[in-house]
Amino acid sequence: MPSVQPVVMCVMKHLPKVPEKKLKLVMADKDLYKACAVEVKRQIWQDNQALFGDEVSPLLKQYILEKENALFSSDLSVLHNFFSPSPKMRRQGEVVQKLTQMIGKNVKLYDMVLQFLRTLFLRTRNVHYCTLRAELLMSLHDLDISEICTVDPCHKFTWCLDACIREKFVDNKRARELQGFLDGVKKGQEQVLGDLSMILCDPFAINTLALSTIRHLQELIGQDLLPRESPDLLLLLRMLSLGQGAWDMIDSQIFKEPKMEVDLITKFLPTLMSFVVDDYMFTVDQKLPSEDKGPAAYPSAIPEMFPKFLQDHRIACEIGLYYVLHVTKQRNKNALLRLLPSLAETFNDLAFNDIFLHLLTGNLTLLADEFAQEEFCTSLFDNFFLAACSRKENVHRHVLRLLLHLHHKVAPAKLESLQKSLEPTKQSGEAVKELYSQLGEKLQLHKPGPAQAADAPPMELSLPTVPTPATL
């Protein structure tokens, strides 16, 4: 009886426990199931994992798609990038809100969602599932749903880490809190490390830990200290290591913290610090009167072990890449050109993953004027980007994004050769073809007409620009 149905549905919604027989009737009728309130559906779902999975699956797909679209956004900017939205703002997203509503206060449904996320993370290695794991818990925390927060052993750790992500820095007080949680994992409860590692594998957590590591290294130089003398730095590395080892830990079901590489602390990080010192010395050298000597040359040599570390050690590679992002953001062209050759081969091709390329292309907008220089373009495009374009479609997309933004800064001859090199093949996806045709249209619009070309000074775009001093 359609006219009475809303009343019945409303009564059922307020029943703490709907009789099993009635739930089965609702479940058997598609229209009834559709019309019933989420409070009733929760009672159906908790004993029917497959049906709940069917409801959750499209939301998880939508979430991953949104994250991937954000990484390929047409806006290139240092101020507005993938990591700009605050944690609280991200939790207002449609998918997180819908999942929070579907779970309500039901611990069983929450556990099912976590199990789906673990399974999908294992199957795909997609780290955005780790972000959703943390966002979902913090969304329930925002609503004060103690029924779930008190039984999730990661709650306080995630809450503390969330505050660090908001500040994009792990301060000393919070570092001690986080360490307390890690040290407090009791014998027999090691399984919680699997969940903690997933929380730490969230790209927003990795970003915060890596930025804090770079900042700590700079502070250590000012204090004349070595990495091994800083407990705070060692904790950051411990958390990075746990986060980066999440997939292996959940896959192997061996719940113990990865062993810290001694060479990372005694060899790799001091090498990274020596690069920072080189920059300081070069800047000071530039300011000294140079009557007797010519202009100081920027050191171009790289210790042999540096690229080897980037190839063999995951944590070293992550920190090395964040240092490259750091010097690019500082508009330090010399340091960028010195380090770029080392990125051709990295651990698991991390230098060509979407998050790094998204941040790098954004930071490169600060070096826009350098794109007129042949040497800069050869190092960046020919030796780095184009070398990977043919085997990695995502790199192709990021280069096209960059050129769509900065094509007017590149010398015309170079632009022409880049356009040829970046032409999509038959195997290229729709996204690459679309970006390439957008670039073609932009270049057509940008080309001066015959009358303008005659009046315009020749090669206007390739006039040498005043190099930006290497700021630190």
> pLDDT tens digits for 19-44?
777 767 667 767 776 767 788 788 88
Q: In whole angstroms, how far apart are CA 202 and each of 51, 124, 189, 198, 219?
A: 28, 14, 22, 7, 26
pLDDT at 467 over 90: no
Counting runs of H as helices and runs of E as strands, what totals does the chain give? Answer: 28, 0
Q: What is the mean pLDDT of residues 377-394?
A: 93
Q: Residue 393's closest CA among 359, 363, 349, 360? A: 349
pLDDT band at 453; cut points 50, 70, 90: very low
Q: Which two tokens stand for residue 264?
A: 């990372």
- pLDDT digit string, tens, across residues 99-141: 999 999 999 999 999 999 999 999 999 999 999 999 999 999 9
pLDDT for the residue numbered 47: 87
- Amino acid identity, position 33: Y
Tokens of 416: 């022409």
Q: Tell me the chain's radius of gyration from C-alpha atoms.
A: 27
What percent of the chain is modeled with pLDDT above 90? 72
Query: 288-292, 330-334, 349-353: lowest mean pLDDT where?
Result: 288-292
**Where does the pLDDT of residue 292 fall: very low under 50, low under 70, confident under 90, or very high at 90 and above?**
low
Per-residue pLDDT for 232 more than 60? yes
pLDDT of residue 471: 44
Confidence of residue 83 (pLDDT cuts 50, 70, 90): very high
Report the candidate in 384, 377, 379, 391 with the shortest Cα–Cα distance to residue 356: 384
CA nearest 135: which of 151, 150, 113?
113
Residue 212 pLDDT > 50: yes
Phi and psi angles of residue 95, each rounded to the nearest 5 degrees, phi first: -65, -45
pLDDT value, residue 8: 74
Token pair for 210: 């890596």
The 10 Å Cβ neighbour count of residue 457 is 6
Neighbours of 414 (CB within 10 A): 20
Q: Which of 6-20, 251-265, 308-322 has the lowest mean pLDDT?
A: 6-20
Number of CB atoms found within 10 A of residue 83's CB: 18
Q: Give φ, ψ of 77 to 5 degrees.
A: -160, 150
Q: Which of 205, 189, 182 is nearest to 130 (CA)?
A: 205
